[in-house]
Amino acid sequence: MTESPQALLWDCPRIAQALDTSTRTIWRMKDAGKLPSHVGVGRLVKWRRTDIEEWVEAGCPDCRATGWTPASDVARPVAPRQIRRVY
């Protein structure tokens, strides 16, 4: 399957390609909190393309250490967590 250049969500290999690094490095950066927050799509891990682009433009700051968040997070609504009831 070919990916649109304007895809809304990027996976690990696409980010690695954009940053000219390995996928293993991307997973390490994710685990260390250096990347912007990811989006869970089922069992898949994806990142918003706009978040990654903003992060690169900001100089790739360590998100966990600096508290950096994309500007789009301010306007993004937070969905309430759904509580599962077990009967």
pLDDT tens track for 9-63: 999 999 999 999 999 999 999 999 999 999 998 899 999 999 999 999 999 999 9
Q: How confident is the model at residue 81 (pLDDT cuts 50, 70, 90)?
A: low
Q: Name the nearest CA neighbour of 48 among 70, 64, 32.
A: 70
pLDDT at 85 over 90: no
**Helix/strand/coil for 78:** coil
Nearest to 49 by CA among 36, 61, 40: 36
Which residue's entry shows tokens 């992060």? 55
How far apart CA 40 and CA 18 sit, in angstroms, is 20
Question: Which candidate, 2, 3, 8, 16, places its Cα nearest to that of 47?
Answer: 8
DSSP character at residue 70: -
The pTM for the full model equals 0.76
The residues spanned by each domain of the chain are 9-70
